Amino acid sequence: MNQARTNFKVPEEQTKGSATKTLILEAALAIASRSGLEGLTIGNLAEVVKMSKSGVFAHFGSREELQVEVVRSYHQKFQEVVFAPALLKPKGLPRLNQMIGSWLKMSSGGDTSSCFFISGAAEFDDCPGIVRDELLRSVEIWRAALLRAIKEAITEGHLKKSVNVEALLFQLYSIALGVHHDSRFLDNPKCLANANKLIKEILSSNKSN
């Protein structure tokens, strides 16, 4: 018995709406990367994308919802630039080194204008609400991935079994914070090389014999 086949076609209006929203989010991400999430408004976004404020507002219920969408877009980009390439590396130190190296480049401006996980935390550390919640969720996902990579390095025999994984995570995370600060605020061109050297020393001191 022949079964009828149904061809589903997305309405043209819906397709255009999704494409427009994507373009708006890309522009919003660019603005927030330069000026921070708090520097992002419906007004300056509308000016960049050459739309009316009401036209932009129609895609987002509020400024906070716009900021949340930008955080989600950044998280997706972060996964593509930093996390996905690391999964192609063998478990253990090769994967951990790839994760940290890519993150440091992003934090210092090598792959993007800013790392929201660091700059956003400074903006919203004392500001409860949905934007902070979304930032916190993204940061916790990333920290969990780093922690898992450290544990895998121990399981693979690359690091000592006695390694304090929480302390090592704190060290690595603190170095990334320092790179972000020194490269952007102090404009120190040597900070990335200094950070990579320090990480190499820390991991070497924790390697299994």
Please report, for the domain that includes residue 145, its CATH number. 1.10.357.10
Q: Indicate whether 20 belongs to any domain.
A: no
Indicate if the pLDDT at residue 13 is higher than 80: no
In the chain, % of residues over pLDDT 90: 56
Residues 6+ away with beta carbon under 8 Å from 207: 158, 159, 160
Matching residue, tokens 């390697």: 207
pLDDT at 114: 61
What whole-number distance in Å separates Cα of residue 43 and Cα of residue 54? 10
Query: Predicted confidence band at 9 (pLDDT cuts at 50, 70, 90)?
Result: very low
Query: Which is more confident, 160 or 39?
Result: 160
pLDDT at 12: 53
Domain containing 201 equals 68-205
Tokens matching residue 186: 């102090």
What average pLDDT does range 18-25 have in this prediction? 87
Q: Indicate whether 27 belongs to any domain.
A: no
pLDDT at 161: 96
Q: Indicate whether 161 belongs to any domain.
A: yes
Closest CA to 162 of 208, 198, 95: 208
Q: What's the domain count of the chain?
A: 1
Average pLDDT along the chain: 87
Least confident piece of the model among 8-22, 60-74, 88-102: 8-22
Task: Round to the nearest angstrom and report the end-to-end CA distance of the chain.
Answer: 68
Q: Indicate whether 72 belongs to any domain.
A: yes
Q: Indicate whether 29 belongs to any domain.
A: no
Q: Indicate whether 1 belongs to any domain.
A: no
Query: Predicted confidence band at 5 (pLDDT cuts at 50, 70, 90)?
Result: very low
Q: Indicate whether 4 belongs to any domain.
A: no
pLDDT at 39: 87
Q: Indicate whether 37 belongs to any domain.
A: no
* Torsion of Cα atoms, 73 then 119 then 181 then 88, to 10°: -30
Adjacent-strand bridge partners of 207: 159
Query: Which is more confident, 5 or 188?
Result: 188
Indicate if the pLDDT at residue 57 is higher than 60: yes
What average pLDDT does range 168-195 have in this prediction? 92
pLDDT at 6: 41
pLDDT at 15: 63
